[in-house]
Amino acid sequence: MITKNKNSKNVYLSIILPVYNEEENIALQYEEILKSIIPLKKTYEIIFVDDGSTDKSFKILQDIARKNKFVKLIQFRRNFGQTAALAAGIDHSRGQIIIIMDSDLQNDADDIENLTKKIEEGFDVVSGWRRDRQDKFFSRKLVSKIANWIIRKVSKVNIHDIGSSQAYRGNVLRQVKLYGEMHRFIPVHASWLGASITEIPVKHHPRKFGKSKYTLIRTFKVLLDLITIKFLGSYSTKPIYFFGGTGLILIFASAISFIAVIAMKITQNQSMIRNPLLLLTVMLIILSVMFFLLGILAELLTRVYHETRNEAPYKIRETINM
């Protein structure tokens, strides 16, 4: 079960960072965050979620948490992925404003101030836009430009970059349920829940230490995820509309094909048995029945799915300062 911290009044800013083998980065990242948030003079918590690191990351984080009780630490039993890490951080956060960023020094802690300001202006979600992205051109920048474009078109959420640091109104983000590899779609989910969303340009740095945890394959996963969330996430598109709708179109097509068969028989005395369109008619009818059945099954599944969503998608070994 997820244990949510209900007491959200007394922390203003929650900074959440997923950590997976970032031993060279996290100490520096922590320093940078402190440097940027101390001048803001707000109550804060920095939540590091160690996503099953196998290097010294956890040890380093432990030392940091020992010295600063505003640093909270969650350690996973194994690597559950960035989405689960963020979900754990969010579940355990108390801040009125939540900032999520990477722990690899690629996002700039200086942007925390501007992200926060936009939330204070009244937006629920502020997405960072890495205008000058410091990654490899082809495998990263170009591919992500295309992916972002598709996501924009499909989700109708108008932001340029879904993969950077982001700020959220705490109670909005704590309502969004994360699963699979879907942390990239948090802004989309939030927006579908009715959150107001905006974006600001943020700084971006090349990765100095450690390796990126992802490869080009991720982009394809992201696109598949997009189809899934479009499907599961958007409350208005029920599966029966999609499958049943397709089924109806197929029935319609099969009717046209059947009429054509009969018309050919009457006008040209074309044998119905030898007419390939008859085969098409039958095939379309079978397909449409399949689609209807799939639609009903999908409806059933989504209900089961939503009922059973109480279990957290991660296992915690240890928490510190919680």
Shorter beta-carbon distance to Mg ion: residue 23 or 124: 23
- Residue 21 CA from chain centroid, whole number: 21
* 3 part of the interface to ligand UDP, by CB under 6 A: no
In eight-state DSSP terms, residue 93 is -
* 22 part of the interface to Mg ion, by CB under 5 A: no
* 54 part of the interface to ligand UDP, by CB under 6 A: no
Pick out residues in 94-153 that bind Mg ion (CB under 5 A): 102, 104, 106
- Contact segment (CB under 6 A) with ligand UDP among 78-86, 88-96, 264-272, 309-317 equals 78-86
Count of residues interacting with ligand UDP (CB under 6 A): 16
Pick out residues in 90-119 that bind ligand UDP (CB under 6 A): 102-104, 106
DSSP assignment of 95-140 equals -SEEEE--SSS-B-TTHHHHHHHHHHTT-SEEEEEETT--S-IIII
- The structure tokens 């971006």 sit at 204
Backbone φ and ψ for 131, nearest 5 degrees, come out as -65, -35
Give least dist CB 84 to ligand UDP, A.
8
* 134 part of the interface to ligand UDP, by CB under 6 A: no
The pair of structure tokens assigned to 40 is 């803001």
* Alpha-carbon distances, residue 165 vs 15, 56, 203, 279 (angstroms): 10, 24, 10, 55
Q: Which of ligand UDP, Mg ion, none does 20 bind, CB closer than 5 to 8 A by kind?
A: ligand UDP
Q: What whole-number distance in Å separates Cα of residue 247 and Cα of residue 236?
A: 19
* 10 part of the interface to ligand UDP, by CB under 6 A: no
Closest CA to 168 of 95, 257, 219, 87: 95
* 85 part of the interface to ligand UDP, by CB under 6 A: yes
Q: Which of Mg ion, ligand UDP, none does 18 bind, CB closer than 5 to 8 A by kind?
A: ligand UDP
Give least dist CB 56 to ligand UDP, A.
14
H-assigned helices in the chain:
26-37, 57-67, 82-91, 111-120, 143-155, 170-173, 186-192, 217-232, 239-268, 276-307
* Collapsed DSSP state (helix, strand, coil) of residue 168: strand
Give least dist CB 163 to Mg ion, A.
9
Shorter beta-carbon distance to ligand UDP: residue 49 or 157: 49
Q: Which of Mg ion, ligand UDP, none does 51 bind, CB closer than 5 to 8 A by kind?
A: ligand UDP
Q: Given strand 166-169, what is the order of strands in its sheet?
A: 197-202, 125-130, 166-169, 97-100, 13-19, 44-50, 71-76, 316-320
The pair of structure tokens assigned to 94 is 């108390």
* 182 part of the interface to ligand UDP, by CB under 6 A: no
Pick out residues in 15-34 that bind ligand UDP (CB under 6 A): 18-20, 22
* 79 part of the interface to ligand UDP, by CB under 6 A: yes
* 160 part of the interface to ligand UDP, by CB under 6 A: no
Which residues are at the interface with Mg ion (CB under 5 A)? 102, 104, 106
Which residues are at the interface with ligand UDP (CB under 6 A)? 18-20, 22, 51, 79, 81-82, 85, 102-104, 106, 212-214
